Amino acid sequence: MSVPSLRAAIAARRIDPLAPSPPGLYTDHLVRVIRDGPPADGAALQPIVRTEHFTLRRRGRHVELGHSLRPEQLDNDLAGLLAEELFAPGWLSGSDIFERVFTGVVRSCVDGALPAWTTFYDNTLARIRQHWRTPEPAEHSSIAGFAPVYGRTLDLVSRGSVLDLGSCFGFLPLLLAERKRQRVIASDLSRGTMRLLAAVARARGVGLDTLACDAARVPLPGRSVDTVTVIHVLEHLDPGHGEAVVQEALRLARRRVVVAVPYEDEPTAAYGHVRCFDPEQLAELGRRTGHPFSVASYHGGWLVLDPG
């Protein structure tokens, strides 16, 4: 997906989104994120840059990021704020640092691991539904950009069991599971992210299964679910890996595979994108499967395969 994920496989050390941390502070071996500026126990450091929402410093080997975001501001539009204010201008770079400062802002904004993440999820899901009711321009909002993608996916998924590949935070699986009419399995390469999603789903009273695996090697038998969704995943993968994911989705699906990708002029490196798509590339991908397919454009590209 094009929202930032917690993909631990690309990190030098794994990110644990539920690890204990002091109130108002997140720290690991690379980043230190602080609510409301530098802590009292540290000497004031000259900022590298101050933006509307963040103060960036260097403390030894650590990137130190101060912020003053309030709990009601904590949602997935944090991705856009970080990208626009710190990564696009070049003050910070790399998907690993992006994921760590993203995690740090969430964890430092609300005290306690699960309360912080449930606040993040509750606010994001509420804003997705708000955008469904009253669409807004998506130029500066990750949520506004993804709300129509999630809505269209829900329209394309009929009753029955669903496996979502590359779920990242799992907003889509949660929305699917809340419809109460199907079994939903969320999957992602990151065990930490799946552990987080399972904890949040339990806290929200939502029945949802999670699976930590490579989307090209899912430990489930063939034709084990009715629908497989691959939503904003392929742009994160090289062509060979992406093709393997589509073939795996076809192996697993009894009825339908739904693929969605963003259309970009250049891959968005901050979000971990490594390739771009256009309608002809999607059509060629569909033709190579040998199954009936359709290609459409709606807030990006859509490839729907019907192996059943």
Determine the pLDDT at residue 43: 57
| CATH number assigned to the domain with residue range 145-305, chosen from the 4 options 3.40.630.30, 3.40.640.10, 3.40.50.150, 3.40.50.620 | 3.40.50.150
Residue 42 has pLDDT above 80, yes or no: no
Residue 136 has pLDDT above 80, yes or no: no
53-57, 86-90, 139-143, 274-278: least confident range: 139-143
| Residue 179 pLDDT level (bands cut at 50, 70, 90) | confident
Decide if 79 contacts 103 (C-beta within 8 A).
no
46-50, 124-128, 173-177: least confident range: 46-50
Question: Could you give the CA distance from residue 68 to residue 88 in angstroms, rounded to a whole number?
Answer: 21
What's the average model confidence in pLDDT over 113-132?
Answer: 97
Determine the pLDDT at residue 4: 42
Tens-digit pLDDT profile for residues 2-22: 344 434 333 336 899 999 999
Tens-digit pLDDT profile for residues 223-261: 999 999 999 999 999 999 999 999 999 999 999 999 999
Parse the chain into domains and list their residue ranges. Answer: 8-115, 145-305
Question: Could you give the CA distance from residue 25 to residue 63 in angstroms, rounded to a whole number?
Answer: 13
Determine the pLDDT at residue 163: 98
The residue that leads in pLDDT, 203 or 269, is 203
Decide if 204 contacts 170 (C-beta within 8 A).
no
Question: Could you give the CA distance from residue 243 to residue 246 in angstroms, rounded to a whole number?
Answer: 5
| Residue 59 pLDDT level (bands cut at 50, 70, 90) | confident
